[in-house]
Structure 1
Amino acid sequence: MVSSEIIGQSAIRPNIVQLDDIDRILLRELVKDARIPNNALATRAGIAPSTCLARVRALRDAGVITGFHTAVDPNKLGLMTAALVALRIRPQARSRMVGIARELSKLPNVLSSFLMGGDRDIILHVVCTSPAELRDFVSDELSAHPDIANTQTDLVFEHIANPGS
């Protein structure tokens, strides 16, 4: 068993940023609403606006906050068919797996890509206008890709997002 004094020591995990309660409040509130005005964020954290701005900047500089994003509802854009497509990469292409995932994540139908352990190498979160478009996308863009050995497509009936996402 690892003692609580060892957990979180920077010598053990040099890339882990130590957060205090104020940092956690700031992050929680920013995840809920990345557009929250600084003065409102400061009030929720119980700190001065100038302190709030400096702390958020420090979290960005430390790489804890990696960006601010706009969430879009694919259904409102007519992208009514969603799927998780699992890919198995050919053995000779395994050394290029990260590059392949980055390449595939740039395709217009791909929302996210995940590098996996186990029997699936990459999982893509894909949205399309219809099952027929999904079929064509998997067939034309993925199955035809020279580095992909096989695909497995699972339809998503409903995506229940984290309320803070």
Structure 2
Amino acid sequence: MLDRIDYALLRLLRKNARLPNKDLAEKTGIAPSTALERVRRMREARILLGYHAEIAPEAIGIGLQAMVSVRLARHSRALVDGFHRHLLGLPEVLACYHVAGADDFLAHVGVRDSEHLRQFTLAAFTEREEVAHIETRLIFEFQRNVDLPPQPGAD
């Protein structure tokens, strides 16, 4: 169970994963050794899953982003798992979500331009026999929320 100090550490790391340990300790009012041990414990418990660099899409050739909704024609564990692996293996897929509702997957994709998007969706989705329907929505702006939801049980 996470306590208020753990949540404070997580909030700070979510906003800036490069924050030095001494700053984490100072901002949470604990000793540096305690901060280091708590962060280590949260990594080992798989509460902290990793640290990520936020990269300007344009700097790596992404000129267009989209969300592609995918509906599968049939459902079985093997088909769903196989399609999920397929998505994760595509370099254009920035994130993928297995969802409930009318669609089965949402894929956040980053491509050079509209022609790249067209070619990518044809090859990655419409040419696959397990895919029954896709719908593409262009993303005009994307920004990650760095805040955490309130701590359970906190007032």
SS state at 1:42 partner? helix
Name the residue aligned to 1:4: none
SS state at 2:17 partner? coil
Name the residue aligned to 1:14: none
Name the residue aligned to 2:109: 126
- Structure 1 residues 22-76: Cα deviation after superposition (integer angstroms, max 9, x where no partner): 1011000000111111111111111111111100011111111111112212122
Structure 2 gaps of 5+ residues are 149-155
Preserved contact between residue 98 and residue 115 of structure 1 (Cα < 8 Å): no
Name the residue aligned to 1:108: 91
Q: Please point out which of 126, 140, 150 is paired with 1:143.
A: 126
TM-score (norm 1): 0.83
Name the residue aligned to 2:142: 159
Name the residue aligned to 1:19: 2
| TM-aligned CA deviation for residue 146 of structure 1 | 2.3
Name the residue aligned to 1:64: 47
Partners in 1 of 2:82 and 2:16 — Cα distance? 32
Partners in 2 of 1:94 and 1:84 — Cα distance? 24
Partners in 1 of 2:147 and 2:7 — Cα distance? 14
Q: Which structure would you say has the larger RCO, counting Cα contacts within 8 Å and 6 or more residues apart?
A: 2
| TM-aligned CA deviation for residue 103 of structure 1 | 2.0
| TM-aligned CA deviation for residue 164 of structure 1 | 5.5
Trace 1:92-107 onto structure 2 (pairs within 5 A): 93-96=75-78, 97-107=80-90
- Structure 1 residues 81-112: Cα deviation after superposition (integer angstroms, max 9, x where no partner): 11000111121x53221331122122010000
- Aligned-CA RMSD value: 1.5
- Structure 1 residues 112-147: Cα deviation after superposition (integer angstroms, max 9, x where no partner): 000010000000000111011001100112110122
Identity of aligned residues (%): 37
Q: Please point out which of 83, 89, 108 is paired with 2:72.
A: 89
Structure 1 gaps of 5+ residues are 1-17
Name the residue aligned to 2:151: none
